[in-house]
Structure 1
Amino acid sequence: MLIGGQWIASRPGALIEVENPADDTIIGTIPEGSTEDAARAVAAARKAQPGWAARPAVERGRAVRKLAQLVGARAEELATLITREQGKPIGQARGEVGAVVGFLEHAAEGARRIEGDIIASDNPDEEIQIRRHPYGVVVGLTAWNYPAALAARKIGPALIAGNTFVLLAHEITPFLGLFIAALAEQAGIPAGVINVVTGRGAVVGRALVEHPDTGLITMTGSNRAGREIFRSAADGMKVLRLELGGKAPFIVMEDADIDKAVAAAVTARYTNCGQICTCNERMYLHRDIADEFLEKFVAASRALTIGDPMTDPDMGPKVSGPELDKVKSIVDAAVAEGAEVLLEGGPLTEGAYLRGHWYAPTVLEVKNNDSPVIEQEVFGPVVPAVRVADFDTALQMANDTDYGLSAYIFTQNHRRLMQTPYRLNFGEIYVNRANGEQFQAFHNGWGHSGLGGEDGKYGFDGYLRKQTLYMNWG
């Protein structure tokens, strides 16, 4: 672990094995950190923070930009490591490394955009100033599905704002966070500004969240984990940025470009083996085009290649055995309740798939909106479809969820498109396109999908707290 500029182990013999999900081999071990390690990391970050915040923002920006350059120079090495520990195809892993560079570069560009306001006062000889200051120590908790990109998404803006950072690298995919921290040292980022601890979330994560010197917690992960962090942070009145699960509806109306919608639905469901919070999780298809859409979608799903992620197939393995079992249990429950299997993929366990965690694309059709596969986040290569009579029914079914992260709609009808942002209760809506956030936008969930958000000027603003100054010179 990197704590205060020192690479240290944890307790003797306290190690966690890290598995390659494609073949079950152990690719390395990490320290199983303790609450004491968490406390040391926060203390190191707190010690380094005043000096880091005192540097001009453009100087902080140069350091973050240098880190981006070093990541780019080691791109293939980083991509290979992503594929080995997370399982995504190497082409998609290269895309993730590109996102790391993009997140860091975009953050660095914000160094000259830390702005406040001057407001006219009601009193003579006085003005009101709204200033922005860093929170101090930021704790980042990231998910295993994009271990490098999610770390960079948080580290970049936090550092530009003048905060220091403690990252808990997820125990399933820890090496990317450690690799980025090593490159940060090479970039000249001072000791203690970025710290990386490893271990179990229930132990190390809780200690980081509850530590009295933690100023802001930014987390990407499951709804369950978000609730636990919410509870743990309550007594300390901590500021939270939580990006949690999603159950994105994919709505296709009768006037849509069907081929374009099918292509987008395939991309939005199966990229990274369906392990993206913005994935196409449930499809609502107008009854007039449902047969055509499903025929083409099933054919495209069946044609996807699955295999050794280093050969760059369309899909690699699920990240772990428990994750694979979760997907299987949701599908089994849906079928037991009457879902029709249009494409029976399921677990792959023979031949080239004898080792690893493999699940082939699976397409179901359900009659109602309360099937387990409709209500639960699958986070895998499984998608249910529901036929709908009209636009109003599609919106009603889409909104019938606790989640509110992302949604998709395909239609050429201008009136429907204008109504969509007012009637579809999600923080991020993709219109006539597949998923894929952009650095300058704002990625945020409504409802049980989270608090706050990331990216762009609105995400950056979340790493700064406001101070009001009544300046009277009378």
Structure 2
Amino acid sequence: MESLELEQLVKKVLLEKLAEQKEVPTKTTTQGAKSGVFDTVDEAVQAAVIAQNCYKEKSLEERRNVVKAIREALYPEIETIATRAVAETGMGNVTDKILKNTLAIEKTPGVEDLYTEVATGDNGMTLYELSPYGVIGAVAPSTNPTETLICNSIGMLAAGNAVFYSPHPGAKNISLWLIEKLNTIVRDSCGIDNLIVTVAKPSIQAAQEMMNHPKVPLLVITGGPGVVLQAMQSGKKVIGAGAGNPPSIVDETANIEKAAADIVDGASFDHNILCIAEKSVVAVDSIADFLLFQMEKNGALHVTNPSDIQKLEKVAVTDKGVTNKKLVGKSATEILKEAGIACDFTPRLIIVETEKSHPFATVELLMPIVPVVRVPDFDEALEVAIELEQGLHHTATMHSQNISRLNKAARDMQTSIFVKNGPSFAGLGFRGEGSTTFTIATPTGEGTTTARHFARRRRCVLTDGFSIR
């Protein structure tokens, strides 16, 4: 056999072997784990470190396949996920949770969100690219547990990371079930186990240990202000999703029928547990009566009796001036029953006229009770809305046909999400354009987070080359 023929034969055999190896992914498993669930935080994090060291060698196309696998495998489970979440947490409703989980699966950006920037000139070329952090430590809430897990898993793995989840104990069972399922889907897709991990007994102590673990460089916290503050004291980079108290301005130029329908849709959605949902309405006096009438036509119960308003306040707000956690995410019917108020239909929302200082306006209730505050004109409406939003820079909505007013409100309120002439959830891409997220990082400034926020921006410089202008 000629040497050239021998060389070609050897090359052919080697290429065939390499192709076989590519088709069969290498499994990386850690002893002691059951589908990503470990006994201790350290065991889980160490396993995730091993997994991420393998995952970072995968191609972008393989990451795309992981994201695709998550989307395809979770579609048939959406109703089960929604039903189990409501059954365990007692918050929200199955119909709206189906929509929210579908939104997380369909509209959470993947690898396509990792854009590259480039600068060229006489001195060469500089690339800015997004690379993984490693193992991300993430806290998930009880209000939107499954949506947050799905959304963050897609974004974090698209960016090349592994993730340790610290789910809320109030959503422990559904969270552990979903984390196991997500880890299994990912393992079956890319052959790497333990890219999504947690502990068998989620707790505040476990979350604290995760925050302080030396192998966790980035914390992503979707929860209340207390846990965000605790994470920020860790000395690590934190993406923190804080509280919100979104007002909705309605001026005299608005399409009142549409405004009323949009506000009722947004404020009643999943019983108002979304942090972006309308928590108050500030209406110009000349259209306030018609707005209230139209909100009633869209399924809201207008409570006007002062005695009934007091009953509502007594059950919704505690003596300490905070929301009654027992009623968070409950339906309007359940809240009315708790307050001893009769109603001859099934209302979607409870609306009450109040002053701007009323607890219903100043406290983030997370339940379908929305105060309506009257003001004489747009200028005062904006002032009141800014006051009610409390400088949280989270979300606001406005209904108006006056472009200058819409622009002024958006500029002055400086919220992460500002929705014009639509329901609040349009800001998440539902009945609105753009991607979705369930981690809206207002305290730390990232706003609506996607895969690019879970990646480290790196600069790579080549001198004296690749500028062809």
Instruction: Answer whether TM exceeds 0.5 for this pair.
Output: yes
Change (3 A) 1:302 1:411: closer
Local SS of the residue matching 1:329 = coil
Superimposed CA distance per residue, residues 161-215 of structure 1 (whole angstroms, 9 cap, x where no aligned partner): 1101111122111333333333331451521211123545521111111111112
Superimposed CA distance per residue, residues 308-338 of structure 1 (whole angstroms, 9 cap, x where no aligned partner): xxxxxxxxxxxxxxxx99833279899xxxx
The answer to whether the aligner puts 1:71 opposite 2:74 as a matched pair is: yes
Match of 1:83 among 86, 91, 109: 86
2: distance between equivalents of 1:171 and 1:399? 34
Change (3 A) 1:332 1:405: closer
Larger Rg: 2
Q: Tell me the equivalent position of 1:435.
A: 424
Change (3 A) 1:37 1:364: same
Q: TM-score, normalized by length of structure 1?
A: 0.75
Alignment-mate amino acid for residue 166 of structure 1: F
> Is the Cα contact below 8 Å between 2:252 and 2:284 reproduced in 1?
yes
Q: Tell me the equivalent position of 2:156.
A: 158
> Is the Cα contact below 8 Å between 2:440 and 2:448 reproduced in 1?
no
2: distance between equivalents of 1:325 and 1:391? 32
Change (3 A) 1:55 1:325: farther
Q: Give the C-alpha shift of residue 376 in structure 1.
A: 2.0
Q: Tell me the equivalent position of 2:59.
A: 56
Please give the root-mean-square deviation of Cα atoms over the aligned residues, in Å: 3.5
> Is the Cα contact below 8 Å between 2:114 and 2:451 reproduced in 1?
no
Instruction: Report 1:174-185 matches (<5 A).
Output: 174-184=172-182, 185=184
Alignment-mate amino acid for residue 364 of structure 1: V
Change (3 A) 1:5 1:393: farther
Q: Give the C-alpha shift of residue 406 in structure 1.
A: 0.8
> Is the Cα contact below 8 Å between 2:333 and 2:347 reproduced in 1?
no
> Is the Cα contact below 8 Å between 1:347 and 1:360 reproduced in 2?
no
> Hey, which of these two has a bigger chunk of strand by percent?
1
The answer to whether the aligner puts 1:393 opposite 2:396 as a matched pair is: no
> Is the Cα contact below 8 Å between 2:288 and 2:374 reproduced in 1?
yes
> Is the Cα contact below 8 Å between 1:330 and 1:372 reproduced in 2?
no
The answer to whether the aligner puts 1:374 opposite 2:361 as a matched pair is: yes
> Is the Cα contact below 8 Å between 1:177 and 1:196 reproduced in 2?
no
Local SS of the residue matching 2:49 = helix
1: distance between equivalents of 2:132 and 2:290? 53
2: distance between equivalents of 1:345 and 1:196? 34
Unaligned runs of 5+ in 2: 1-28, 303-312, 324-331
2: distance between equivalents of 1:172 and 1:332? 23
2: distance between equivalents of 1:90 and 1:183? 20
Match of 2:411 among 422, 438, 447: 422
Alignment-mate amino acid for residue 452 of structure 1: E
Q: Tell me the equivalent position of 2:117.
A: 117
Alignment-mate amino acid for residue 118 of structure 1: V
Local SS of the residue matching 1:470 = strand
Unaligned runs of 5+ in 1: 10-30, 305-323, 335-342
Tell me how many residue pairs correspond in the alignment: 402
Q: Give the C-alpha shift of residue 414 in structure 1.
A: 2.5
Change (3 A) 1:77 1:136: same
Local SS of the residue matching 1:363 = strand
The answer to whether the aligner puts 1:228 opposite 2:217 as a matched pair is: no
Instruction: Report 1:235-384 matches (<5 A).
Output: 238-298=236-296, 300-302=298-300, 327-329=316-318, 346=335, 348-349=337-338, 361-367=349-355, 369-384=356-371
Local SS of the residue matching 1:162 = coil
Q: Tell me the equivalent position of 2:210.
A: 208
Change (3 A) 1:102 1:224: same
Alignment-mate amino acid for residue 440 of structure 1: G
2: distance between equivalents of 1:423 and 1:331? 31
Identity rate, percent: 19
Match of 2:456 among 446, 453, 465: 465
Q: Give the C-alpha shift of residue 412 in structure 1.
A: 1.2
